Copies of this chain bind each other. A is one copy, B any other.
Amino acid sequence: MTQAKTLNPIAATFKALKCKECGAEYELTASHVCEACFGPLEVTYDYNTLRRTVTRESIQSGPNSIWRYRSFLPVATENVIDVGTGMTPLVQANRLARRLGLKKLYIKNDAVNMPTLSFKDRVVSVALSRARELGFSTVSCASTGNLANSTAAIAAHAGLDCCVFIPADLEAGKVLGTLIYSPTVMAVQGNYDQVNRLCCEVANTYGWGFVNINLRPYYSEGSKTLGYEVAEQLGWQLPDHIVAPLASGSLFTKIYKGFQEFIQVGLVEDKSVRFSGAQAEGCSPIAQAYQEEREFVKPVKPNTIAKSIAIGNPADGIYALEIARKTDGSIASVTDAEIIEGIKLLAETEGIFTETAGGTTIAVLKKLVEAGKIDPDETTVAYITGNGLKTQEAVQGYVGEPLTIEAKLDSFERALERSRTLERLDWQQVLV
């Protein structure tokens, strides 16, 4: 640690786009594929400068949002879009921990991320800040729902034109939660992978900034903040084990990159963190590759209630696989019924209402503990990435009904008596 700085250094520390496969370097334009080998491009930084200029204190004196880590984000302008995104609670989940038989469990709660209640607000805040400085006036995305909400909302705040693409069968809350911001919404008859292919064509034809296509190298860096924040919130140290959902695999790899960068610049001590990933059985190409010990990910056709992570052909699947293997983590999948149980378990024990992706994470967490793949003594962090109010269909019918009563004391008392009798019966069934 060097001495405290009052401001984050503004001078851009991101240097180039670099192919993850062949290492070829490119200028910092709106492109995402290596011209030489078609590998994905990633942003590189000047870590020597970062090591010299960034301290725990300089970060802590920054804004209470992802922009406290701006030196590690690929945006040059001072005029970033800051709508309070990030710095979501890291909740010590004692009641859930006891239920699962863990000693130290935390929930990183992006179900309350700002402004649109999912981790996508992180990547979109970065992508649109970058889009603006690259001169785009129209922004777009291929989305499973949360990304559409986030892109439409943050574009509205920033005054950018916006056109989003979603699969036509999305949950009502995700469609309404996009339309409300008045973007153009294209509902594509097909699954996410088809939406994504169409968007790649559109991106090549129109001069639009697609956050997760031509802006993807910048966009995806936003997920690193989910690593930084956990490290800072744990008192500048890394956890022992993390569990996160796998859709494209990008989130998983970027949390890893975030931890590695903090180690590299000396903000936390070096430590190995186990990375475990969660998928829904109805769309589990990465979990299947893991189970079958394959080196490649075979695309699947999604069929699950966990629509926000239903990516059958995950762009960063092999990188996620590699990280789970080399950190001694696991990748597992759970059924739709287990996902609903996961949502309910987290709500009942911790008062956090998550969407199907979060239910997947909690159900996989439970499964891994039961299989002995998470040690009770490990400090474990489960990443909850979205809010349950957006996928109400998934749990409607599984949470019971209110007891309808008249506005009279005796009507209430009869209902209370009935509910207590039912509860006792429930317990007797448990005990039998």
Chain A residues within CB distance 8 Å of chain B:
64, 83-84, 87-89, 91, 95, 109, 112-117, 152-159, 163, 166, 168, 172-173, 175-182, 184-190, 194-195, 197-198, 201-202, 205, 343-344, 347-353, 387-390, 392, 395-396, 399-409, 412, 415-416, 419
- Could you say which of B83, B87, B407 contacts A198, with CB atoms under 8 Å apart? B407
A409:B201 contact, CB within 8 angstroms: yes
- Could you say which of B116, B157, B351, B409 contacts A156, with CB atoms under 8 Å apart? B351
A89:B95 contact, CB within 8 angstroms: no
- Could you say which of B84, B91, B185, B194 contacts A403, with CB atoms under 8 Å apart? B185
B residues within 8 A CB of A172?
392, 396
B188:A407 contact, CB within 8 angstroms: yes
Given A175-B402, A387-B389, A396-B176, is A84 in contact with B95 using a C-beta cutoff of 8 Å? Answer: no
**Quick one: copies of this chain in the complex?**
2
Docked CA distance A163–B408 (Å): 16
B residues within 8 A CB of A194?
407
- Shortest C-beta distance, A110 to chain B (Å), equals 11
A197:B407 contact, CB within 8 angstroms: yes
B353:A205 contact, CB within 8 angstroms: no
B residues within 8 A CB of A205?
409
A353:B197 contact, CB within 8 angstroms: no
B187:A347 contact, CB within 8 angstroms: no
- Could you say which of B91, B390, B401 contacts A389, with CB atoms under 8 Å apart? B390
- Could you say which of B197, B343, B350, B402 contacts A157, with CB atoms under 8 Å apart? B350
B407:A189 contact, CB within 8 angstroms: yes
Residue of A178, A179, A202 ringed by the most chain B CB atoms within 10 A: A179
A182:B344 contact, CB within 8 angstroms: yes
- Could you say which of B64, B163, B387, B399 contacts A64, with CB atoms under 8 Å apart? B64
Question: What are 17 A-B pairs at a CB distance below 8 A?
Answer: A84-B88, A91-B157, A115-B352, A117-B389, A156-B348, A156-B349, A168-B404, A172-B396, A180-B353, A180-B395, A180-B399, A181-B348, A181-B351, A186-B405, A189-B404, A190-B406, A198-B408
Docked CA distance A159–B95 (Å): 8
B residues within 8 A CB of A163?
416
- Shortest C-beta distance, A185 to chain B (Å), equals 4
- Could you say which of B157, B178, B351 contacts A153, with CB atoms under 8 Å apart? B351
B347:A181 contact, CB within 8 angstroms: yes
- List 7 other contacts, CB 8 Å, given A84-B112, A177-B388: A64-B87, A83-B351, A168-B402, A180-B388, A184-B419, A189-B407, A190-B407
- Shortest C-beta distance, A169 to chain B (Å), equals 11
Docked CA distance A205–B201 (Å): 68
- Could you say which of B115, B190, B395 contacts A351, with CB atoms under 8 Å apart? B115
- Shortest C-beta distance, A238 to chain B (Å), equals 21
B residues within 8 A CB of A419?
184
B residues within 8 A CB of A185?
402-403
B residues within 8 A CB of A152?
351
Closest chain B residue, CB of each to CB of A157: B351
Given A177-B389, A351-B157, A392-B176, is A188 in contact with B400 using a C-beta cutoff of 8 Å? Answer: no
- Shortest C-beta distance, A332 to chain B (Å), equals 24
- Shortest C-beta distance, A414 to chain B (Å), equals 11
- Could you say which of B95, B117, B347, B350 contacts A112, with CB atoms under 8 Å apart? B117
B residues within 8 A CB of A392?
172-173, 176
B115:A176 contact, CB within 8 angstroms: no
Given A166-B402, A347-B182, A395-B180, is A109 in contact with B84 using a C-beta cutoff of 8 Å? Answer: yes
- Could you say which of B83, B117, B158, B198 contacts A91, with CB atoms under 8 Å apart? B83
- Shortest C-beta distance, A235 to chain B (Å), equals 14
A186:B348 contact, CB within 8 angstroms: no
B residues within 8 A CB of A407?
188-190, 194-195, 197-198
B64:A389 contact, CB within 8 angstroms: no
Docked CA distance A114–B154 (Å): 20
